[in-house]
Structure 1
Amino acid sequence: MDGTWEDLVGSALLGTERRRPSGVVGDAQEAAVGLLDAAAVGVVRRRAGLRPGVAGPRPRAAAPDPRPPLPGSARRRLEMMLTGGGRNRQGTAPNLLELLPQWLATARARGYAAPPALLPALLDVARARTDLRADALAFAGPRALWLAELNPEWKFALRSGGGAVGARTAAGDAAAAGRLWEEGLFAERVALLTRLRQTDPSGARELLASTWRSERAEDRLMFMDALRTGLSPADEPFLESSLADRSRNVRSTAAELLSALPSSALAGRMAARARSCVSLGPDGITVEAPYACDAAMERDGVAAKPPGGRGERSWWLGQLVEAAPLSTWPERFGGRTPEQIVALPVLDDWQPDLHAAWCRATVRQRDAAWARALLGTPSARGGPVAAIGDPAKLLAILPADERACWVSEFVAAHGLPEAFQMLGVCAVPWSAPLGRAVVDALDIARDGGSYPWSFSGVMGLAERCLDPGSAEQVALLSAAAEEPPNGSPGASAYWSEAFQRLTATLRLRALMSEELEAP
């Protein structure tokens, strides 16, 4: 065999009928066999010709992890989840992968260390699923960062977990913080800034200001967003100066943050503009939306060009009202409460625009009184969805107990079709009244003859969010029921299977929590 390795590769790609390497003879079949023989010889020759590499320095030792190891049963459960056990849901079997985020959060909260042998699988899962990355890396601990230094596929852990570790270390040392800010990776700098905003907001702002002019526009935007943590009137001069930033996105974010400070000069300017557009007449609220967007409005964060299908005047009005302090309106409307203001009629079809802007202002300013007024009574006919779109952001402002109570009443009055996003902002595990309302609504849907996959999203939430103590209540519904007269064919059997799976999942969650208890 005289052909080179490149000659063999070329023949394999083109086929021996079109190109035969030198030394290969015979018909097409014999030539193909000869090519494979020659390739086998060539592989041996190439491997035999390799010279051994020079040994590099040994990697440094991994940092110790002082946390206690997992109990044996919990370790086996984690191994099953990470290696594919329960990956495919069949029949009534729970989906273990869907429970992995909750398991990781619990293990992290209870202070356990991850088993070293499972760290590679844990890093692979964290790379694939950003929703559990924070808990996975915190649970994996310092040894996972040590592994990430040795494998390029896990470098995300250095940007995420490494940044957080470095930030915690540097936050209490001004010199170390300065070095990390000047020399660190972008993720480390963001983590440091966020960490400092929790402990020393002014120091964090001064650190940011020291390099602000030399930062890239996209980095300035991320740093500006980090100022949401610990936002206070002391940040106003820096934010006000940022209204002249070269980047439109940075200017817009600075304006948004200033509008969240009711005492800021920008909030005062926006309140004056909003008052000039909205007033109270004898028949209700009258609206005179702006006819132009001047340069001063643009500097204060008003986007001049509306999105497709939106009128200019309503677009400008919404931005002015959204950025005005909510305290503007009781003063404007004779001392009325938020509930009384929301109940006022709005003339000339401006109500959807005005109420939507008040909703956005409420979310921005985290005002619970306005959130209650805009949400209204959960049992009211039609509910709030048609009036304000997605009420989940307003609900998130309320205390957890009040939020769960409101959603449980909404579900009892209107069922589940409009409640999915609301359920997603309720604290886990769901309170007993909310859990009962959801299970009862599912039972009503079954009695109505619907197929269970119409409620698959709610079922998935219930598997993760229902209190495991609800398992016996759900188990009562798992028995096959008679088909309703006008129901979908076979729906009852599908519902029975869905309730059996929900029951099995709740029982498994209870068992997993017991496994994570200290022995």
Structure 2
Amino acid sequence: MEHWNQLINTALLGTAKKQAGSAGMSGPLLQTADTILAQTDTDKEDKFLQLAAVLYNYRQSGTQPITANVAPMKVCPPETKAYCKPAAIRVLHQVLETESIQLLQLWLEYCVKANVLVPPAQLPLILDKGWRNKSLRALVAATGGQRAAWLGHFNPDWNFSRVADTIEDRWQNGATAQRVEALKELRATDPVMARTWLEQSWPRESVTVKTELLSVLEHPADPADIPWLESLLTEKSKQVKETATRILKKLPGSSLHEKYWQIIAGAIQPDKYGQVTVALPEITDESIFQSGIEKFSSDKTVTDDTHVLYQLISSVHPSRWEEHFHRDTERVIALFQQQESLKPFIPALVLAIAWFEDKERALSFMQHSETFYIDIIPLLPAAQQQEFGEKFFDEHPDAIIEYACKHQEEWSLQLCTRIFKYAATQPYTYNQQFMNNHIRLIPVSIAAVLDNITPVEAYHTGYWNNIKVHLGRLLQAKSQVQSL
């Protein structure tokens, strides 16, 4: 309609430059337009708006509504489990006020253990929390019941609530992140099948996706993967080759690991007098350096040969030394500590224990070493992690806190007290968000000693006091959850 286009031009230019008119109109529409434009007590802006209203409704006249066949909405199936009790809902409100995801996780774990459901009134909020925090999704799906799965049909963000999804479904049809998680789940229960899935889909994957999926095979590394991983070293993608190489380095028996060991075994030899000589032979195999071993030392006090040998030792499984020296773990550790030629490589041996996640030798090393090595802490049993964390806290406070935050069990009161005394000196680092993120590790009993923990610097006092007040609310909510 030309008169509508004219009206649009007036809107674009403004009534000061182009006034609305009745050009192109006819019949009753022209009469109405002339009546509007003839008004003497109305300004040109009002005339424009009145004319626009008339034209808009004129254009809509006779328009047929869109019809569609819409399937009737399915009714939510009845629940087979009971909803949680009012007391638990009151605790939920207290937990949500703290904005701590870990506390919400604890509350949902209570619901799973009690075999009860989140009530309908709170369910949308909990589903939204699950959408924003992947760590909650399995718990939300388990406590959402039929209603959560039903709501997932209407909101794509809540689709994770459909508990009927299988690992195969997520692997075949999910986004990359979902496929990675599905592969991790299968890897934990059936590593051979996980690798088989990956081999079958490999030709169809993009380079970026290949790298993400391949990284799943690293935890845990499986010797049965060696032949396929070694075949990937001919891939065009640098990222894929680097990922495959990194995993092969964690697999004793791989050709790369054996090459490393052959060089080390030739370089470090005991003589008939019980002394160990160290002399790195010339390395002619360039694949050693292409695998990530640096040729030259950046430290003027360390020779190139020592630097190369240090890297090789840190990349070879510690059990090889027991075979090489015909000694058990304790005697191998003692040999490294006693022989002057081997002492520079003790940290490399520690790195090897950490690299191969050798928990048995980690504990033995900590028990028989005169030096504390922080890299071994995550491999120790929970009790020993806390024990050594307390004992050597002052030497490595930040590193011990970092490892402590990965514990599966609550901190002891002693370790927690040490952490908070240090946190009081660094309140901008160990702030309210830190407390939110690690509240499940913090024992409720720490509340009794919080008032005795004060900052060294006076200007930290106000900020630390705010943190303590917030922590008090978290501990109270945690106590309420634990008492359900």
What TM-score does the superposition give when structure 1 sets the normalisation length? 0.68
Match of 2:152 in 1: 148
SS in 1 for 2:71: coil
How far residue 119 of structure 1 moved from its aligned partner, in angstroms, is: 3.5
Match of 1:469 in 2: 445
Q: Deviations over 1:68-121 (max 9, x none)?
A: 322223334445766xxx3xxxxxxx5556633443444445443233343433
Q: How does 1:87-236 map to 2 (within 5 A)?
A: 94-96=98-100, 99-140=103-144, 143-152=147-156, 154=157, 158=159, 165-167=164-166, 190=180, 192-228=182-218, 231-236=221-226
SS in 2 for 1:166: coil
How far residue 53 of structure 1 moved from its aligned partner, in angstroms, is: 3.9
1:11 touches 1:20 (CA, 8 Å); kept in 2? yes
How far residue 198 of structure 1 moved from its aligned partner, in angstroms, is: 3.8
1:65 touches 1:141 (CA, 8 Å); kept in 2? yes
The answer to whether the aligner puts 1:507 opposite 2:476 as a matched pair is yes
Of residues 372, 397, 401 in structure 1, which corresponds to 2:383? Answer: 401
Match of 1:429 in 2: 410
Match of 2:419 in 1: 438
1:429 touches 1:465 (CA, 8 Å); kept in 2? yes
SS in 2 for 1:429: coil
Residues 71 and 294 from structure 1, CA distance in 2 versus in 1: closer, same or farther, beyond 3 angstroms? same
How far residue 146 of structure 1 moved from its aligned partner, in angstroms, is: 3.9
Residues 355 and 110 from structure 1, CA distance in 2 versus in 1: closer, same or farther, beyond 3 angstroms? farther
Question: Which moved further from structure 2: 288-297 or 66-75?
Answer: 288-297
Aligned-residue CA RMSD (Å): 4.9
Structure 1 distance, partners of 2:81, 2:399, is: 44
Residues 328 and 194 from structure 1, CA distance in 2 versus in 1: closer, same or farther, beyond 3 angstroms? same
Residues 230 and 166 from structure 1, CA distance in 2 versus in 1: closer, same or farther, beyond 3 angstroms? farther
Match of 1:371 in 2: 362
1:69 touches 1:115 (CA, 8 Å); kept in 2? yes
- Equivalent position amino acid for 1:340 in 2: A
- Equivalent position amino acid for 2:210 in 1: R
Of residues 317, 322, 326 in structure 2, which corresponds to 1:325? Answer: 317
1:321 touches 1:357 (CA, 8 Å); kept in 2? yes
The answer to whether the aligner puts 1:340 opposite 2:330 as a matched pair is no
SS in 2 for 1:396: helix
Of residues 269, 286, 310 in structure 2, which corresponds to 1:294? Answer: 286
Residues 196 and 266 from structure 1, CA distance in 2 versus in 1: closer, same or farther, beyond 3 angstroms? same
Residues 409 and 39 from structure 1, CA distance in 2 versus in 1: closer, same or farther, beyond 3 angstroms? farther
How far residue 51 of structure 1 moved from its aligned partner, in angstroms, is: 1.8
Q: How does 1:55-66 map to 2 (within 5 A)?
A: 55-62=69-76, 66=80
Q: Deviations over 1:33-61 (max 9, x none)?
A: 55555666677778885725424113445
Q: Deviations over 1:212-245 (max 9, x none)?
A: 4444434433443333466543333333333334
Structure 2 distance, partners of 1:192, 1:462, is: 26
The answer to whether the aligner puts 1:410 opposite 2:392 as a matched pair is yes
Question: Which moved further from structure 2: 361-370 or 280-289?
Answer: 280-289
Unaligned runs of 5+ in 2: 23-35
How far residue 439 of structure 1 moved from its aligned partner, in angstroms, is: 4.5
- Equivalent position amino acid for 1:505 in 2: L
Match of 2:85 in 1: 71
Unaligned runs of 5+ in 1: 87-93, 171-176, 386-390
How far residue 465 of structure 1 moved from its aligned partner, in angstroms, is: 2.3
How far residue 421 of structure 1 moved from its aligned partner, in angstroms, is: 0.7
Match of 1:254 in 2: 244
How far residue 401 of structure 1 moved from its aligned partner, in angstroms, is: 1.7
- Equivalent position amino acid for 1:367 in 2: D
Match of 1:90 in 2: none
Structure 2 distance, partners of 1:346, 1:95, is: 55
Structure 2 distance, partners of 1:278, 1:38, is: 96
Structure 2 distance, partners of 1:32, 1:317, is: 86
Residues 225 and 455 from structure 1, CA distance in 2 versus in 1: closer, same or farther, beyond 3 angstroms? closer
SS in 2 for 1:243: helix
Structure 2 distance, partners of 1:10, 1:359, is: 77
Residues 319 and 378 from structure 1, CA distance in 2 versus in 1: closer, same or farther, beyond 3 angstroms? closer
Residues 429 and 13 from structure 1, CA distance in 2 versus in 1: closer, same or farther, beyond 3 angstroms? farther
What TM-score does the superposition give when structure 2 sets the normalisation length? 0.72
2:19 touches 2:44 (CA, 8 Å); kept in 1? yes
Structure 1 distance, partners of 2:257, 2:315, is: 7
Match of 1:51 in 2: 65
- Equivalent residue pairs, number: 459
- Equivalent position amino acid for 1:406 in 2: F
